[in-house]
Structure 1
Amino acid sequence: MIGRLLLLLHIASRHLLMRQRQTLVATSGVAVGVGFFLAVSALMVGSQADFVRQLIDVAPHIIISDELRSPAPQPGRRAFPDGAVVLHGYKVRNEVRGIKDWQAVMASAAAIPGAVVSPSLSGAVTLRLGGREEPLGVIGIDPALESRVSTISDKLRAGHLDDLERVQGGVIIGEELASRLGLNMGDIVGATAASGTTRSLRIVGLVKKGNSQLGSSNGYMLLREAQSLLGRPFIINRIGIKLSDPYTAQDVARTLEQRYGYKAESWQERSSDFLSLLVTRNIIMYTVVSAILLVASFGIYTAVSNSVADKRRDIAILRSMGFSEADLQIVFVIEGLALAVIGVLLGWLLGYALMSILGSLRFSIGGEDQSIPIDRSPRQYLIAAAASLLAGGVAAWLPARKSAKVDPVDILRGAM
């Protein structure tokens, strides 16, 4: 059996070596297809992975707020849940916003293995400087905890998050807001809350422009100072949670929301529109790159078809010598797979070179030089190889079937 297979491999190799030009064209087509498949998929997958990573890391994986997805039922409806109850003239009681018993909520979240929890309070103040006024969304944080659940420390153009602890009345604002007010590091600006409380704030940090986490009209303060300025002592209205496995965020958020009633929003829920667009993008990407490999497989089909047509007399002789139909099909399928394997190896080299070129390109974004994110994982190489070998095998098998239908008597008789 092994000797017969070696003989078939020898025949297939002789066919390829005798048609060197077609062999070169077919392998070059596969190599170009595989190379551009790797370059395009590495570029698209790399940019997608970088985008998802930013979605995951830029903010806490779960945000618990003092909002409710649906209002609490009235006492009458709770007392008679199955009755026909109609309520008239009732007044909704105004409740102080904030997460009740937030220490228990934080303790439950912190009990999750690998979880980091950060409390915060958000509100609004008005900044006044030289007769100009600008609204500022204040976010009171614990710097030590907030730096572990978000990447705000990496987004600072100047200053450090810990400066909020060291400087009384310190505030971190965006570069755009500072530019509009003419503020620089260390400057002092007046702030007035809705309750009428006035406080002087000192600029201790500036956030880079274009940061999606902190808008142009938002800023960070120390939690206890924000509570004092907003007139809400010992109150928080947001809890950020970072998990060791971000992809469990939806399940954890659902559990916490069912337990405490407050809206717990995972990063998947906050980014659902973007994630659905990525699915469509992936479908388009793999359709395009698969078409590239499909076109490359036509070179194998052409090479094997011409080999079958040119070797009809040799096929007849082999059949008369006792070779079966399956043996002849194996010969031409081996030819196609050999072309695909050689093309894949050359395509890997081409794809690696293209990825290296793309990865070395630098672009200025937001005043900083950034490179194109490239996915260089072995997964892309394996996908390209598997798709090429499958396409090459099918492309070789289609004309190989014709060799099995050759009648050796008719061919030999016609050759005489």
Structure 2
Amino acid sequence: MANRTAPFAPFEWMIAWRYLRARRAEGGVSVMTWISLIGITLAVFALIATLSVRAGFRAEFVDTILGSNAHVSVYPAQGVDEEGRPVRGFTDYAERAAALERVPGVIQVSPVVRGQVMASANGVARGADVYGISPEGLRATRRVGEGADAYGELDRFPQGIAIGSGLARDLGVTVGDRLRLISPDGMKTAFGTSPRVNAYEVVWIFTAGRYDIDQTRVYMPLVEAQSYFNREGLADEIEVMVADPDHIEQYQDALLGAAGQGALLWTWQQSSGSFLKALTIEDNVMFVILSVLVLIATMNIVSGLIMLVKNKGRDIGILRTMGLTEGSVLRVFFICGAFTGIIGTAMGVALGCLFAIYVDPIFSFVNYVSGGGVWDPSIRGIYALPAKLQAGDVMSAVVLSLGLSFVVTIFPARRAARMNPVEALRYE
């Protein structure tokens, strides 16, 4: 019985390498190999680049939410006062806040008064959302308070207000200027309610990284906000920051119990849930579409191998008559196709990783060439195109590309292995 050849023996690699280096007379095979190589490279690059941008966009968007807003908002159900008039707010907010602070995992609790006003300066007026909050609560808001991308004197917040950089730019104010806030719900007189107009010194200007926040948000000391909005002794809600907001559900039962009777919870995932679900669906759809692109690129390997098998029919017949087994012939042509897939995948991974690492200068160049305005923060919400390179995304692209390359290579390789040597040499 003849000795069996060990799989992927050195001579099989040698034959495959000679076939890959097509001579000038076999230029068609060489062209198809290059087309396959470039196609796989570009497909893997597009897949990794898209996945990294989607991951970066999600990470940046979620970070701006968690860094600028409460992780959990505790708000009261509708109630009535002693005279039977509807009222909404916590009168015992200090006691409820103290109870919430004792919940394990809670890092900051801040009673808040909220209202909408018209902000005016230098003859320009803009709508603004006012948050009445304690100085400690403002400092703990990561993208607004201490350590944020901001300037001014945070220690002077009890004597002034903090505003977003977009609002400051629109109104033409900076630190030290005075900003007028106009509220329609002002003093109640015999002739009705008159608007309330107060001027406050701007002591802190922040950039949270979200267009809608920087364009509209104003922070005011809690006591001043209570007076300004006629909310003396009340807090509209209590903002809670936790140590692990990604798993906010594990805090809900404890927070609801500590908040007391008549309290309701609204988490950041509930407020942004529809957008996050839309991102997840879009990520899955994009992966499927780009997977089809990778499949189309790998199909070029089949075309190249079929041409190679046709050109090498005589060689296959000679090798078979010399004792080469069907398995050896299959492995020779499998190596030819797989080698193209491996090289193309490696080059695509390198290009994709470089794109993710240097996305800022690349995007700046594209923005410059196109004349600007490629990325509109008023639509996207954030100011720049982010990219986050994740090992899982790279591995998904590599496994997909190599898997498809290996699978499609088997069919033309089996065709070569099953070629009848007599038929191959009949007309030679």
Q: More displaced, 186-195 or 22-31?
A: 186-195
Conserved? CA contact 2:121–2:173, under 8 Å: no
Deviations 1:105-146 (A, max 9, x none): 543354323632222223467889999999875422112223
Secondary structure of the structure 2 residue equivalent to 1:64: strand
Cα distance in 2, alignment partners of residues 132 and 315 from structure 1: 83
- Answer yes or no: is 1:313 the counterpart of 2:314: yes
Cα gap change, 1:293 to 1:312, in 2 (>3 Å): same
Q: 1:119 to 1:389 in 2, by over 3 A?
A: same
For 2:59, the equivalent position in structure 1 comes to 49
Alignment partners' CA distance in 2, 1:266 and 1:144: 21
2:213 aligns with 213
**Could you tell me which amino acid in structure 2 is paired with residue 202 of structure 1?**
Y
Tell me, what secondary structure is at the counterpart of 2:388? coil
Structure 1 letter corresponding to 2:135: P
List aligned pairs for 1:314-329, cutoff 5 A.
Answer: 314-329=315-330
Aligned equivalents of 1:63, 1:108: Cα separation in 2: 11
Shift of 1:9: 2.1
The residue number in structure 1 matching 2:247 is 248
Out of 201, 212, 216, the residue aligned to residue 203 of structure 1 is: 201
Residue pair 1:155, 1:211 contacting (<8 A) in 2 also: no
Change over 3 Å in CA distance of 1:177–1:301 after alignment to 2: closer
State how far apart, in whole Å, the 2-side matches of 1:391 and 1:7 are: 26
Distance 1:307 1:332 in 2: 9
Counterparts in 2 of 1:382 and 1:124: CA distance versus 1, 3 Å: closer
Aligned mate of 2:38, from 28, 32, 48: 28
For 1:362-401, list aligned pairs within 5 A. 362=364, 371-401=384-414
2:137 & 2:348 partners in 1: Cα distance? 48
1:9 and 2:28 matched: no
Matched, 1:99 2:103: no
How many angstroms apart in 2 are the aligned matches of 1:142 and 1:250? 26
Verify the 8 A CA contact 1:62 1:242 in the aligned structure 2: yes
Percent of matched pairs sharing the same residue: 25
Q: Which moved more, 1:94-103 or 1:120-129?
A: 120-129
What residue identity is the alignment partner of 1:113? G
**How far apart are the structure 2 equivalents of 1:297 and 1:175?**
49
C-alpha distance 32-107 of structure 1, shift in aligned 2 (>3 A): same
Native 8 Å contact 1:129 1:190 kept in 2: no
Distance in 1 separating the partners of 2:329 and 2:126: 82
Please tell me whether residue 263 in structure 1 is matched to residue 276 in structure 2: no
Q: How far apart are the structure 2 equivalents of 1:388 and 1:340?
A: 7
Residue 421 of structure 2 corresponds to 408
Relative to structure 1, the CA distance from residue 258 to residue 2 in structure 2 (aligned partners, 3 Å threshold; closer, same or farther) is farther
Q: How does 1:2-401 map to 2 (within 5 A)?
A: 2=6, 5-18=9-22, 20-67=30-77, 93-94=84-85, 96-99=87-90, 101-102=92-93, 103-113=95-105, 115-123=107-115, 138-153=130-145, 159-165=152-158, 167=159, 170-173=160-163, 185-187=176-178, 189=180, 194=186, 196=188, 200-205=198-203, 211-213=211-213, 216=216, 219-253=218-252, 255-257=254-256, 260=260, 261-355=262-356, 358-360=359-361, 361-362=363-364, 371-401=384-414
Three-state SS of the structure 2 residue aligned to 1:240 is: strand
Counterparts in 2 of 1:282 and 1:31: CA distance versus 1, 3 Å: same
Q: Secondary structure at the match of 2:303?
A: helix
| Structure 2 portions without partners, runs of 5+ | 23-28, 190-195
Distance in structure 2 (CA, Å) of the matches to 1:299 and 1:135: 58
Secondary structure at the counterpart of residue 118 of structure 1? strand
**Does the 8 Å CA contact 1:123/1:137 hold for their aligned counterparts?**
yes
Cα distance, 1:104–1:404 mapped onto 2, change above 3 Å: same
Q: TM-score, normalised by structure 2?
A: 0.75
Q: Give me the whole-angstrom Cα distance separating, in 2, the residues matched to 1:405 and 1:223.
A: 83
Alpha carbons 2:166, 2:215 under 8 Å: kept: no
- Structure 1 residue runs without a partner (length 5+): 73-90
Question: For the structure 1 residues 322 and 98, does the alpha-carbon distance in structure 2 shift closer, same or farther, using more than 3 Å as the test?
Answer: same
Q: Verify the 8 A CA contact 2:211 2:383 in the aligned structure 1.
A: no
Asked if the contact 1:59–1:151 (Cα under 8 Å) also holds between the matched residues in 2, the reply is no
Are the aligned partners of 1:59 and 1:150 in contact in 2 as well (CA < 8 Å)? no
Measure the CA separation in 1 of the matches of 2:358 and 2:170.
41
How far does residue 274 in structure 1 lie from its aligned partner after superposition?
Answer: 0.9
Equivalent position SS for 1:212? helix
- 1:97/1:357 CA distance change after superposition, 3 Å: closer
CA shift at 1:248, angstroms?
1.1
Q: Indicate conservation of the 8 Å contact 2:165/2:214, yes or no.
A: no
